[in-house]
Structure 1
Amino acid sequence: MRNFVGKFRNLSIKRKLIISFSVIVVFPLITSLLLSNNIVTNFMLDEIASLNETSINDSSKVLNRTLDDMAYTLLNISNNSRVRELLQDDNVNYKIQFSKIQRYVKQKKFDDIFDNIPISLMTYNTSITILGEKHFDYGNWEEYSRYTKEMKQNAWYKEIIKSKDMRIRWIGVMPGVENKDNYFFEAAMPIKISNSSLTRVGVVHIRINEKDIYKALSSNNETNEIYLLQHNGEILSCKNKDEISKNINNRLNVTKINENLGKSYIDVDKNGKKIVINSVSIDKGDWILISLVSYEELVAPLTSIKNILLLINLIFMVSFLIVALFISNIISKPIIKLRMSMLKVESGDFNGKVEVQSEDEIGKLSQNFNNMLDRVSELLVLTKEQERLKRDAEFEALQAQINPHFLFNTLSSIRWAAAAYGDKKVEDMVHALSILLRASITNGQEMVSLESEINILKNYLDLIQMKQGTTIIFECNIDESIMKYRIPHLLLQPIVENSILHGFEDRNEQGVIRITAIAAEDLLKIELTDNGKGLQGDTLDSILNRESQALDDKKYYKSVGLKNIHDRLKLIYGQNYGIDICDGEKNGTKVTLYMPFQKGGEHIADSNAGR
C-alpha cells in the first residue's frame, strides 16, 4: 500500500486527476453496469421461467381437461343402460344371424349414444369403439369393423377381460390400427351388466389423434418444445413424430426430470446445448409434461439489451474520460507553465513571467510568483548597486589607508628630528598626534575596549592642551571590571571634541570633563559631562535634525558628530539604544550613551548587531 501511495504521489498532476476521475466516475459506472446486467439477467430469467411455468401449467390444464373428458365419456358409455342392454342381447343371441336391417338399427342406436359425448371432445378427431365379448362390435369411425379383431389381440384388452376391477386403463399413445404412421392417445374400461354385477359384456375404447392433442398443448408454447413422457422417459407426444415411442434419455437426463418435477431448471443436452426445462406431473396417466426452450434463445434478447447498455456505458465512459482530460488540462496546464517558468528562473532567467488566466488558487499562486520575480529583480538591481558601492568604498578605504600610514610615518620622522634638536614640546605633540593617528587606523577592528577609548581621550586632551596652552581636567570614574567591555571604535572622542570646541569656547573658567560608566542588569550607561556653556536652548531632536544647516555653521559640525554616534549605536545594537543630551546638574552639558551589557561578556555587540 505504501509503495502504491508513493508511486501515486510521484505521478504528474494531470495523471493524478485522470486516475481520480476514473476511480470516482468510471469504476463505479463499470461496477453499476456489471451489477445491473446481473440483476437484469436474473430478473428476466426469473420472468421467463415464470412465463414458461405458467405456459406449461396452461398446457397441463388442457391435457387434464381432455383426459377428464375422455374419462367422462368412458364412464358415461360404460354405465349407459341402453349400451348394456344392446351388448347383453348380442351376447345372448350371438349365434342368431341378424339381418342387415337389424344390424343397422342397432348401429343407429349406438350412434345416438355417441352423439351425447362432451362437446370438448368434438374438437378432436375422437374415435370410440365398443368391443363386445362375442362377435358383435360397434364404433363411430369408418371401417372400424375391419380392425376390431386386431384390437382384441392387444395386451390391454386381454388384461381388462381378465381383471375384475372397473377402473379406466390409460393405454397411452399407440400407433393407429388402420395407419401405423398416425399415433393416438388411447384409454379403455370394461362394461358390466349392472352396477351390482362384475360380469362383463364388453369393453369401451376411446382414442384421440396425437397430432390434435399436441396442437392443443403447444398453442400456448409456440416457441417451446413440448414433450409428454412416461416416467421412464418414453416419449408419448412431441413435435417430431419420429421421436414418439423412443426414450428422451437419448437427449436429456430422465432422472433429473423426475427429481425436478414442478420446477424450472437448466440442463445440458447430449449435444452440449443448454436447455431451460419446466415440468409438471399428469396424474391421470401417470405421465410427465415438459417444456423445453433453448437457453441461448432466451438470453438472446438479454444479450441485445446488454450490448445496448454496454454501448451506452462505453459512450458515457468515453465522454467522462474526454471531460476528465479537458478538466485535467485546464487544471494542470497553468501548473506546467508555472513549473517551466520556475525552471527558467532556476537557470538564471528572471524574465519568465507566467500569464495569469484565472483568479483561482493557481492563478493567485502565478500572480504571487510574478510578484516574487519583480521583487527578486529589484533586489538583484539593488544588490548589484550595493556591490558596486561596496567595491567603491573598499577602493576608497584602501586609498584612505595610504594617507594615514604616510602621515604616521612622516610624523614619526618629525618626532625623531625634534628629539634630535632637543625640542621637547614639539616631540610630545607629535607623539600624541601619532598615537591618535594610529588609533584612527582600525585595520578592520570596529570594536575596541573601553580602556582603549579612554586612552585615546587622554592623548587627545594632551594634544589639545599643548596646542592651546590651557589645562583641562579629565576625571574618569569607571570600575576596572567594565574597562574590558568592548564598544564601537572612536565613540567617545567626538563628544569630548564637541565639549572643547563648543562648551569651553569664550570661557575663562578651567574646563572639566568627567566620564562615568554604570552597568545595571543588561544596560551599560556611559555619561560624559562638562562645565561648559550648556545646550543654550537646544534639544536632542533639534541637534540631531540639524542636517540642513550651512557647512560653515559651527552648530552643524556639532550636530553631525552627535548624530553619527547616535546612528552608529542604533545600527549596531538596535533601535532601543543611542544617546541622550541634556544640561548638567549645575551647568554645562551631559551626554549619556546607552548600550546593552552582559555580565562577563566582552563583545555583546556580536549578538545584538542589526537589531
Structure 2
Amino acid sequence: MEKGKHWLRPFIGSFRHKLILTSIACLLVPTLITLSVSNVLTRDAVQEQAEKNAQEQLKLIEGYLTGLFDNMLNISNYIIADPDMNVILKEQAAGKEYTGDNAEYREFADRYEITSKIDNISIIGERTYVTILLPNGRFFINYLLHEYDPRLLFEEPWFPDLEGLTGMAAHWVEAEPSPYLYEKAAGRQQISVARTLRRPNQRVYAYVVVTVPDNQIESIFERLGTGHEVMLVDGENRVMSHLDAGRIGERLTYLSDEPERSSIVELDGERYLVAQHAAGIKDWKLVLLTPYKDAVHQINHIFQTVFAFQVIAFAVFLVVLVLLIRAFTKPLVTLGKLALTVERGNLEMRSRMKGRDEIGRLGRQFDQMLDRIKQMIAEITEEQSRKRKAELRMLQAQINPHFLFNVLNSIRMKVLRKGDKESAEMLSSLSRLLRMTIDRDEETITLHEEVSTAIDYVNLMNMRQKETVTLSVAISSEAMLAQVPRFFLQPVIENALIHGFQQRSGTILVSAEVEGKTLRIAIRDDGTGMSPAAVTHLRNRLKREAVPTDEGDHRVGFSGIGLTNVNERMRIRFGDAFVMHIDSEEGSGTTVTMFVPL
C-alpha cells in the first residue's frame, strides 16, 4: 500500500495534478451516474419499445388473419342470404323428388346453380373448402367427392354442437388434421367455421361448413420474415398453427391468461420476448416469440451509437480540459519553481508576470514581496549593525554607574571610620536608591523591596529638610511578599512630602494587606490636606486615559513622576482591575488608597 502511495505521489502532489484529477472526477462521476441511470432507463425503454413493436407486428398479422376469417364468414353469410339457394336447399332437405318431363335436367340445374355459386365465391384467393350438408345426407361441395365424403362430418365430435347455434351464430372448429386427400398428403391442419340454416320453426334444413388449410395461415406468418416465431394458439394455450408442423399441439405453459400481454421468458437458456394478442375468434390468440437480443438489436444499436458518441465527446472534452488547465496553471508552476529558487537563497529571481487575472496579480505581489524581503534584509542588517554599536556604547556606559557605586561605598567607609554614622547612613541610602533605579532590570519586585526603596527616599529627603518626616509601615507578612511594579509608592510619598507637609514635620503611614486576590495599599499623611475643589480636580485628572504632558507641581521631585503617571502605569498593566482612591480634607491630611490585583 505504501508503495502504491509512493507511486501516486508525483501525480497528486502538485496543484495542477490535483486540479486535473478533481476536474476529471467532477466530470466522470456525474457522467457515470448519468450513464448508469440512463442505462437503467434505456433498458426499460428498450424493452418497452420492443414489446410495443411486437404488439404492432401482431396487430398486423391479426389484420391479415382477420381478413382470412372474415372471408370464411362472408362465404357462409352469402349462402345463408341467397334466396334462390335457400329455396333449393329447403326443397332438397324436404326430400323433393324430380318427376315428369325434364326431371333429370331440373335436378341437374338446381345442383349446378348451388355448386356454381359456391365455386364462384370460393375461387378468389387460396383454396377454400365449402360444404353444404343437409340433414337427410344430401350435400353440395366445391371439391371432388373422392377427396372427402362430406357425410363424414356427421361423425365429427364437434358436429353435435351445431344444434345449439341460433340466428347468425357460428361455431369455430379448432385446428385438426385435414381429412381432404390433397391436404392430408401434405400433412396439413385445417380450421373450419360451421353455420346452420333454420326454418321459421327453428328446424335445421342445412349445415354450412367452410374450411381453410393452415398453409393459408402460415403464409400470413411468413410475411413477418425470419427471426420471429409466430403461432396461433387456442384457449388452452395449445398451438393450432405454426410454420413448424412439429410444434402443432404443443402446450405453451409460459403464456399469460391475459390476451394483450408482453413478457420476457427464458427458454433453453436464452431470453425471449413473448407477445400475445387476441385473434378475434373465440379465445384464440396470436403469439409472437422473438429472441430478446434480436428484438432489441436495432434499438440497442441506436443507443450504443449515442453512447459511443457521448464517450468520444467526453474523451475529446477531457483532453481539451486537461490542455486548458495546463495552460491556465502554467503561471502557478512558474511561481512554484520561483519559490524553490528563492528557498535556495536566490532573491534576485522575479516572475515578471503581466496578466490581469488573479494569477497575474499573485505574481506581481510575489515580486513585490521579494523586493520587500530584500529591503527588509538590508534594513535588518543595518539595524543589527547599529544595535551592536549601541550595545558597545551601553557596555562602556555601565562603567560609570559601577564606578559611582564604588566611590560612594569608599566615601561611606571613610565617613564611618571617622565616626559620622549619620552621614554614612545617608550615603548608604543614596547608594541603594541609585542601585535600585539604575541597576535593576526587573519590571516587578516584592512589596518589601518597594517599601525599602521608599524608606531610603524618605531618609534622603529628611537630610534636606530642617524638620523630619516619619515613615511608618504597617504591612502584613503576606502582603510583604506580593509582587508589585517598581516605583509606584515613591511618587505618592513624594507628593505627601512636598505638598502635604511643605518642609514641616509629620507622619506618613504605609499600610497594606491582602484581601482575597487584591492587595490593598493605603498611604496616609497628616499634612495640610486639600480643598474639595482640589480633590475634585485631581480625581478628574486620574480618570483621563492619557498621561498629561504638563502636571504642574506634581512633576517636582526625585523622579519627576506624578500621581496621574502612577495611575496610568498601573491601569496599563492591570486594566480596570486597578483602582486608586484619593480622600483629603483641609487640615486633616490626605489618604491615597490603591487596590492592586495579584
Q: TM-score, normalised by structure 2?
A: 0.58
Contact 2:131–2:139 at 8 Å: present in 1 too? yes
Taking structure 1 as reference, are residues 383 and 497 closer, same or farther at Cα in structure 2, changes over 3 Å only?
A: farther
- The aligned counterpart of 2:74 is 69
The one of 82, 88, 91 equivalent to 2:88 is 82
Q: How many residues align?
A: 539
The Cα of 1:117 is off from its aligned counterpart by 3.8
Deviations 1:441-497 (A, max 9, x none): 2353663535413431344246547xxxxx343243654559948766566778999
1:452 maps to which residue? 452
Paired with 2:500 and 2:268, the residues of 1 have a C-alpha distance of: 133
Q: What are the equivalent positions in structure 2 for 1:411-426 lying under 5 Å apart?
A: 411-417=408-414, 423-424=418-419
Alignment of 1:427-442 (within 5 A): 428-442=422-436
Deviation at 1:402, TM superposition (A): 4.3
Match for residue 298 of structure 1? 295
Contact 2:233 2:239 in 1 (8 A): yes
| Letter of the 1:40 counterpart | A
Contact 2:260 2:277 in 1 (8 A): yes
Conservation of the 8 A alpha-carbon contact between 2:413 and 2:424 = no
Give the drift of 1:67: 3.3
Could you tell me which residue of structure 2 aligns to residue 40 of structure 1? 45
Equivalent pair of 2:178/2:213 in contact (CA under 8 Å): no
Indicate the residue corresponding to 2:560 in structure 1. Answer: 562
Contact 2:236/2:251 (<8 A) preserved: no
**How many Å separate the matches in 1 of 2:463 and 2:566?**
26
TM-score by length of 1: 0.57
Q: 1:429 to 1:283 in 2, by over 3 A?
A: closer
- Distance (whole Å) between structure 2 residues aligned to residue 257 and residue 492 of structure 1: 112
1:247 alignment counterpart: 247
In the TM superposition, 1:266-345 aligns within 5 A as: 266-268=264-266, 272=270, 274-278=272-276, 280=278, 289-308=286-305, 310-311=307-308, 314=311
| Mapped partners of 1:365, 1:297: distance in 2 | 62
Q: Say whether the 8 Å CA contact 1:128–1:207 is kept in structure 2.
A: yes
Query: 1:406 Cα deviation (Å)?
Result: 3.7
Cα distance in 1 for partners of 2:214, 2:490 equals 142
Change (3 A) 1:265 1:45: same
Q: Which has the higher contact order (CA 8 A, sep 6+)?
A: 1
Residues 314, 85 of structure 1: alpha-carbon distance in 2 compared, 3 angstrom cutoff: same
Q: Whole-Å Cα distance in 1 between the matches of residues 402 and 220 of structure 2?
A: 138
**C-alpha deviation, 1:156, in angstroms:** 3.6
Q: Provide the residue aligned with 2:469 in structure 1.
A: 474
Amino acid of the structure 2 residue aligned with 1:61: T
SS in 1 for 2:468: strand
Larger radius of gyration: 1
* CA distance, structure 1, for counterparts of residue 215 and residue 335 of structure 2: 86
Matches within 5 A, 1:527-606: 545=549, 558=556, 561-563=559-561, 567=565, 570-571=568-569, 573-574=571-572, 596-598=594-596
SS of corresponding position for 1:597? strand
CA offsets per residue over residues 471-527 of structure 1, 9 Å max, x none?
3432436545599487665667789999999999xxxx9755764547799764547
Aligned partner of residue 51 in structure 1, secondary structure: helix
Cα-to-partner distance string for 1:418-441 (whole Å, 9 max, x where unaligned): 566xx555x753552243113322
- In the TM superposition, residue 301 of structure 1 has moved relative to its aligned partner by 3.4
**Contact 2:192/2:212, CA 8 A, preserved across alignment:** no
Distance 1:230 1:341 in 2: 87
Instruction: Say if 1:253 and 1:87 are closer, same or farther in 2 by CA, change over 3 A.
Output: closer
Higher deviation after alignment, 407-416 or 124-133: 124-133
Amino acid at match of 1:276: V
In structure 2, C-alpha distance between the alignment counterparts of 1:165 and 1:580, rounded to whole Å: 131
Report the Cα offset of residue 338 of structure 1. 12
Alpha carbons of structure 1 residues 560 and 430: separation in structure 2 relative to 1, 3 Å: closer
Q: Does 1:112 align with 2:117?
A: no
SS of structure 2 residue aligned to 1:562: coil
Shift of residue 140, structure 1, vs aligned partner: 4.9
Specify the alignment match of 1:177 in structure 2.
181
CA distance in 1, matches of 2:228, 2:317: 44
Instruction: Give the Cα separation in 2 of the matches to 1:231 and 1:510.
Output: 139
CA-based RMSD of the aligned residues comes to 7.3
Residue in 1 that maps onto 2:155:
159
Letter matched to residue 112 of structure 1: E
- Does residue 227 of the first structure (1) align with residue 231 of the second (2)? yes
SS of equivalent to 1:116: helix
Q: How far apart, in 1, do the equivalents of 2:201 and 2:553 lie?
A: 165
1:54, CA displacement in angstroms?
3.5
Deviation at 1:303, TM superposition (A): 1.4
Identity within the alignment, %: 19
- How far residue 572 of structure 1 moved from its aligned partner, in angstroms, is 5.1
Hey, what's the Cα distance between the residues in 2 that align with 1:292 and 1:26? 36
In 2, distance between residues paired with 1:579 and 1:52? Answer: 107
